[in-house]
Structure 1
């Protein structure tokens, strides 16, 4: 029997027909989802890193020359719809396809979407068709893969939060590599190369998931098979016996956390909008002398380190499941060899370049890099040292993301009111520090949110409620786009510092409300903690 902290996970997995092999003390199936989600996030964040910069870049540089406000409006609509469609995707998976088929359909749609965007140089319509396909594909993919993670653990397992944190490390490994490589190719070589590269690795992710489906047993099968899961899971039997008030109370807690997440993500999602504009127009990105040399070495380490870490995870998984699932490992290995070659090419190209100009998209890798660096530490913190309630963790996340904008506001104090783009530039250290605070906030809130949605929601509505979780992110992204579009008007009337302070105040205020509500919310969770 496989025992973790007094828990026996083997019987739970055996009942579901899933593999009971373990990697780093967690089900091997978790790491198949880890790599699938990693490549999906590679494609999404690779494209997101380019979107705003592409739209506002001069036509002479291959961009579309849009205004900041127009670019932020499209960014807000796109990212908002990306997180709105999971509501429909969750319903479709719950009622028709099951989680596995929904994930594969979503991956295929997103692969086609990136391929269409790679053709934007031939016709502008390909760009918008690609955005549409990615919106639909994400809707089928996103809520359902998160649901499958939760089903690998008993509901009251102390390992579930840690499992979601490991899964979140995969999300951010993909986000890091996508922002780094797609952003670099797009800005330095050609926009369509960056958009196209994102699609290639989405295709790899689809293949490795397709050939590894048996590892999940009946988890994620058609709704008819999901009924079989309910028949064998003690948690579902107990759920049917709960009083309606308990279910209602737990859903109230989920709703409160969803609303709080809106205020986190309306700040956090400025990364692809107003923070990109700040990086492009007001941050010193051309480096010389020792600063340039230091940056090249730091960039090289940042490029190679995550590839090494995730490769280690891959080989650990391969040692356990290669015999049973060889094609899953082979496709993932081929993709990683490709990534390593691209990473080394990028490093070599930068060291031989006479000019060192930091790309705008480079700053977006920092969040993902800090996630990969800190995720394990936060996982151990929750497991072994300090494990406060979900609302307290959310409050910490909101405070930290608010502080990140206090940092940028402080750094922007030397930029005068109404300063034109490029006339005044400040140190890039302010953005680096801001991303560190944002990352710590994200680790307190986002994986914990996924875990609590899984634990507090009725199983028969799990896909739908995960869809609503992402709908909250959709609302946040639309608000983020609208707020980001105000950067020019607010900075001309007041200052850039004022703009960023306004963003900081919102999440910090909500954090204080959550701390006050914590005793009530803990009571309404009825033993789920």
Structure 2
């Protein structure tokens, strides 16, 4: 057994982790490369208004994270992880390349292809990582943190390269590079399959179910056909994003019904653990709603209200991922070390700290206004330092959440529950769009956070009052609309993070031994 472990492990982890690490790295390269360009492309090239751009971006990003619910279920029941990941990768690659054609049909179709593809790719590659470890394997948290670093290597490099290409040669070259990244990710995953590093994991769960014919077509193939047929539907939802709240109600009803169904079919311990998974997902929704100002309002904040040095606005999207690359391994080592000396904080405490540091990062963005110059531009230091602080919060919460979903889920429903976890991003992006729209200046207004309690919080953090800003002109009004929102939501997140820590004990008990 010792010889076998030594030959199949790499750096103390299953060899399959290495292939999933690089496949996810390149997939995220494609995703974040395109994401960094999207809002700027809409506002600067397509000349959409801020409100319309935020609406399309929020609809696209939220739908990207609701389709994993369906993709996870189909993988559990019909496709298996391997086929689902390949199907998702092909759809996403097509989506990135479609963006090179400048026509509304191609624009909305490309976003839709990525939405559908991500539904098959994202939950199943994350669940695949969990399958590499036994339930009581102490390396699990560390393995997910390493995997999460792969996500962010792609997320750090992509905005730098894609934004550079877009600026020097044109927007469409940036989108092409994102598509090439997705193809590389697919090739890495296929190489891992050919090398048999995943052994018997991720195969079709039931070949009879896969081969069962409906309308003369095997169920497995019917899933692929249906995936392509849903593309126009999601394209219309993105185009008419103002009606997305109806989809939120539909998704919520589906989640409640299916989770209730699962809760009735599991043991008492599994039920309690599953409720904790739902609680963690709710916290992640709050985290995501604030965190995902990156890519939308924070990109425009950097473009309009920050004295940038060495980076353009799109490239600032790489700062968060760059810090994760620097911090992921130290955090991974930290969790392993703290486990050995039995001082590793439980997951509930980590979640509370994650939400708190997220809020603190956005408070720092608010503080930047205190050193605004005469052109209403703030020092870049605050953008970098604030991003560093909320990145620390992300490392306390996001990779740990991925790990806990695989532990808290009943084995039969692990991919679906991973989809539930990613649904937090669906809700988060939906609400992130609402938050981002609060930063848009219209009719000379200065936003909803200029009066009452939040007006006082904003003035304390930013050093700016509503009267001062109105007297200074449009540039300061735009700055104030950003920092007032960041300061207010930052304080809200800090308070909630503290409350999560204070009331952590009963939640910990419901985890029934899972740390």
TM, length-normalised to structure 2: 0.78
The answer as to 2:433 corresponding to 1:481 is: yes
Change (3 A) 1:456 1:191: same
The answer as to 2:66 corresponding to 1:112 is: no
Q: How many residues in Structure 1 have an aligned counterpart in Structure 2?
A: 420
Partner of 2:303: 280
Partner of 1:290: none
Alignment of 1:80-91 (within 5 A): 80-91=62-73
Q: What's the offset of the Cα at 1:514?
A: 1.5
Change (3 A) 1:243 1:148: closer
SS at match of 2:135: coil
Q: What's the offset of the Cα at 1:415?
A: 5.2
Does the 8 Å contact 1:218/1:226 carry over to 2?
no
Distance in structure 2 (CA, Å) of the matches to 1:2 and 1:510? 47
Distance in structure 1 (CA, Å) of the matches to 2:168 and 2:395? 32
Choose which of 117, 124, 132 in structure 1 pairs with 2:104. Answer: 124
Does the 8 Å contact 1:110/1:137 carry over to 2?
yes
The answer as to 2:446 corresponding to 1:492 is: yes
Partner of 1:31: 18
Distance in structure 1 (CA, Å) of the matches to 2:208 and 2:433? 38
Q: What's the offset of the Cα at 1:136?
A: 0.3
Change (3 A) 1:2 1:271: farther
Partner of 2:494: 508
Distance in structure 2 (CA, Å) of the matches to 1:436 and 1:149? 27
Does the 8 Å contact 2:76/2:205 carry over to 1?
yes
SS at match of 2:197: helix
SS at match of 1:381: helix
Distance in structure 2 (CA, Å) of the matches to 1:99 and 1:35? 16
Partner of 2:173: 193
Does the 8 Å contact 1:114/1:198 carry over to 2?
yes
Distance in structure 2 (CA, Å) of the matches to 1:131 and 1:51? 10
Distance in structure 2 (CA, Å) of the matches to 1:160 and 1:471? 22
The unaligned stretches of length 5 or more in structure 2 are: 210-264, 451-479
Choose which of 485, 508, 515 in structure 2 pairs with 1:522. Answer: 508
Partner of 2:232: none
Partner of 1:402: 359
SS at match of 1:220: coil
SS at match of 2:23: helix
Does the 8 Å contact 2:33/2:155 carry over to 1?
yes
Does the 8 Å contact 1:218/1:225 carry over to 2?
no
TM, length-normalised to structure 1: 0.76
Displaced runs of 4 or more, over 4 A: none
How much is the aligned-residue C-alpha RMSD, in angstroms?
2.1
Does the 8 Å contact 2:78/2:206 carry over to 1?
no
Does the 8 Å contact 1:156/1:528 carry over to 2?
no
Distance in structure 1 (CA, Å) of the matches to 2:208 and 2:147? 22
The unaligned stretches of length 5 or more in structure 1 are: 4-8, 11-18, 58-62, 228-241, 288-294, 296-357
Partner of 2:76: 94
Q: What's the offset of the Cα at 1:274?
A: 1.1
Partner of 2:43: 56
Does the 8 Å contact 2:353/2:498 carry over to 1?
no
Q: What's the offset of the Cα at 1:211?
A: 2.4
Distance in structure 2 (CA, Å) of the matches to 1:185 and 1:412? 32
Does the 8 Å contact 1:219/1:226 carry over to 2?
no
Alignment of 1:321-400 (within 5 A): 358-385=311-338, 386-400=343-357
Change (3 A) 1:371 1:226: farther
Alignment of 1:214-363 (within 5 A): 214-224=196-206, 244-285=267-308, 295=310, 358-363=311-316
Distance in structure 2 (CA, Å) of the matches to 1:2 and 1:361? 49
SS at match of 2:379: coil
Structure 1 window deviating more from structure 2 (96-105 vs 429-438): it is 429-438
Partner of 1:345: none
Distance in structure 2 (CA, Å) of the matches to 1:429 and 1:411? 8
Change (3 A) 1:201 1:430: same
Partner of 1:231: none
Distance in structure 2 (CA, Å) of the matches to 1:191 and 1:427? 28
Distance in structure 2 (CA, Å) of the matches to 1:262 and 1:27? 31
SS at match of 2:206: helix
Distance in structure 2 (CA, Å) of the matches to 1:20 and 1:146? 24
Distance in structure 2 (CA, Å) of the matches to 1:187 and 1:264? 32
SS at match of 1:158: coil
Q: What's the offset of the Cα at 1:509?
A: 2.7
Q: What's the offset of the Cα at 1:414?
A: 4.9
Does the 8 Å contact 1:69/1:486 carry over to 2?
no
Partner of 2:414: 462
SS at match of 2:446: helix
Distance in structure 1 (CA, Å) of the matches to 2:499 and 2:316? 32
SS at match of 1:402: helix
SS at match of 1:492: coil
The CA deviation string for residues 456-505 of structure 1, in whole angstroms up to 9 with x for no partner, is 10111011111111111110011101110110249724333321112213
The CA deviation string for residues 194-217 of structure 1, in whole angstroms up to 9 with x for no partner, is 111100110111112112212111
The answer as to 2:145 corresponding to 1:165 is: yes
Partner of 2:395: 443
| RCO comparison, higher one (Cα < 8 Å, 6+) | 1
Q: What's the offset of the Cα at 1:32?
A: 0.3
Does the 8 Å contact 1:263/1:506 carry over to 2?
no
